[in-house]
Amino acid sequence: MQIQLYTQPESFENSPHFAGFQEYLEHAPNANYFQSIEFFRFIATVKGYRPFVLLALSDDGRVAGSLMGVIQSDGGGLKAWFSRRLIVWGGPVLAAESGEDRQEVARKLLKALKKHAKGNAIFIEFRNFFDCSDLNASFEASGFQFRPHLNYLVKTDDDAAVKGRMSSNRRRQIKTSLAAGAIVTEPESEEDVVALYEILKKLYKEKVKKPLPGPDLFVNMWKSEHAKVFLVKYEGQVVGGSIGPVFRNKVLYQWYICGENGTISGLHPSVLASWAPIEYGVKNGYDHFDFMGAGKPEEDYGVREFKARFGGEQVCYGRYEMVLNRSLYKVGKLGLKVYQTIR
């Protein structure tokens, strides 16, 4: 078995393996946006993100597994150096067959991943979008540790059923927000997207206290045909919204959300911003809406309670983590704490 690495979307698409990769994803049960060529193309346009894909190729050249990741950093200079991490969303993607061959593919992909990460990242984190427990042995043998992490998946099957699963408080907040004059719409211009970004920026500065990607991620996603941006407007002004990719008219993801909550009586922008993609999914035949995380189960997390009231299924697919350079990792963690304190 051979492992092939591609770090540029163009070279990958012009390679002899690209058609086989696309065919492979068509039949892989856990294929998702963050392991697709659409994500590879998109994230390569965003400053501070360096994507790559690893292909496991059988002796006859067929794709037996794939793994797409992103080496990410924040800002410039020392900040960029100490924030280097390798993030894998929703992977690896392996064939449905179980058994030793599947484990072997996983181990070889993880070995190649660690090799690529060495010198480029301080730690590796897998953010699982599906149950990877059958691969625990391969991850552990490769030096990864599993950490529980929750999420909510909202089935978008039928309008009445979806609303029936929501809490009565959520239904009331949607109703009162619309009655108060709020509207849900999609951006008409780049200025609309930048207005949404400014609210996000304020949220991350005052409450989240973590680095936020630059506006190019949000503008480029709005321009992509594989993403949806929903705005909440009041009297013509953007007061909230959500943004995230979509996958094959099957899944909508909520990558970022914000809202100027508590400023106008009866208006709940964050609730409408989360309801908008759910309602869109119902109307357009999507399978489900993915909140993309609800925190660690052992920690109090107000956002989890917010998401839980939309009636989704709570899952714990968790994360796999590995620290590659412990000294730099400690410095980076300390730097983040200082950043949060200052902000």
Band of the pLDDT at 25, cuts 50, 70, 90? very high
Task: Judge whether residue 41 has pLDDT over 70.
Answer: yes
Domain 152-315, CATH homologous superfamily name and number:
Gcn5-related N-acetyltransferase (GNAT) (3.40.630.30)
Count of Cβ atoms closer than 10 Å to residue 337 Cβ = 11
Are 2-149+318-342 and 152-315 equal in CATH topology? yes
Are the C-beta atoms of residues 230 and 263 closer than 8 Å to each other? no
The fold adopted by the segment(s) 2-149+318-342 is Aminopeptidase (3.40.630)
Residue 333, pLDDT above cutoff 80: no
* Structure tokens given for 331: 């410095």
Q: What is the pLDDT of residue 288?
A: 97
pLDDT at 99 over 80: no
Residue 203 — very low, low, confident or very high, per pLDDT cuts 50/70/90?
A: very high
Under the banding of pLDDT at 50, 70 and 90, the label for residue 334 is low
Q: What are the backbone angles phi and psi of residue 244, rounded to the nearest 5°?
A: -175, 160
What is the rounded average pLDDT for all residues in the chain? 93
Break the chain into its structural domains and give their ranges: 2-149+318-342, 152-315
30, 93 contact by CB (below 8 A): yes
SS3 242: strand
Is the pTM above the cut of 0.75? yes
d(CA 33, CA 59): 28
Residue 337: is its pLDDT beyond 70? no
Q: What is the reported pLDDT for 338?
A: 45
- 60 half-sphere exposure, CB direction, 13 A CA radius: 1
Letter for the amino acid at 266?
A: G
pLDDT at 141 over 90: yes
Q: Quote the CA–CA distance of 173 and 272 in Å, as a whole number.
A: 8
Checking 98-105 for CB contacts under 8 A at 24+ apart, the result is: 98/134, 101/64, 102/134, 102/135, 103/135, 103/137, 103/138, 104/1, 105/1, 105/56, 105/64, 105/65
Ranges 10-14, 219-223, 262-266: which has the least confidence: 262-266
Q: What is the pLDDT of residue 97?
A: 65
The confidence band for 285, taking pLDDT boundaries of 50, 70 and 90, is very high
